[in-house]
């Protein structure tokens, strides 16, 4: 018998992975230093807001679905790629 994945646990793990991979604590002067592709500050603010919203929903007992997990992952990956282009994260 196939069991459904525990999406709240998966969402919490995804949020933790994103928070560890994205430099949310980057100083403002470093974010806006030189040419950039997309506004790093706005992207970081947006992603942080999304993570806080998902954490609040889980804490309120709202169970995320797999589509929400996938959308958050895709969004984080796009922002991560933009931060690499802007030189804020080293490409590993």
Map out the domains of the chain as residue ranges. Answer: 7-20+35-85
Residues 6+ apart with CB under 8 A from 10: 64, 69
pLDDT of residue 30: 74
Beta carbons within 10 angstroms of residue 79's beta carbon: 20
Would you say residue 36 has pLDDT above 70? no
**Token pair of 92 as six digits:** 């590993």
pLDDT of residue 35: 67
Q: Give the residue with greater pLDDT, 20 vs 32.
A: 20
Q: Give the residue with greater pLDDT, 65 vs 29.
A: 65
Residues present in the chain in total? 92
pLDDT per position as a tens digit, 41-90: 889 999 999 999 999 999 999 999 999 999 999 999 999 998 888 888 88
């Amino acid at each position: 018998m196939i069991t459904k994945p525990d999406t709240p646990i998966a969402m919490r793990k995804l949020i933790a992975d994103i928070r560890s991979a994205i430099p949310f604590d980057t100083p403002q002067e470093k974010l806006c230093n030189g040419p950039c592709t997309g506004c790093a500050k706005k992207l970081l603010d947006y992603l942080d807001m999304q993570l806080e919203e998902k954490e609040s929903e889980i804490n309120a007992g709202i169970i995320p679905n797999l589509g929400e997990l996938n959308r958050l992952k895709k969004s984080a990956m796009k922002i991560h790629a933009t931060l690499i282009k802007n030189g804020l994260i080293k490409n590993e």
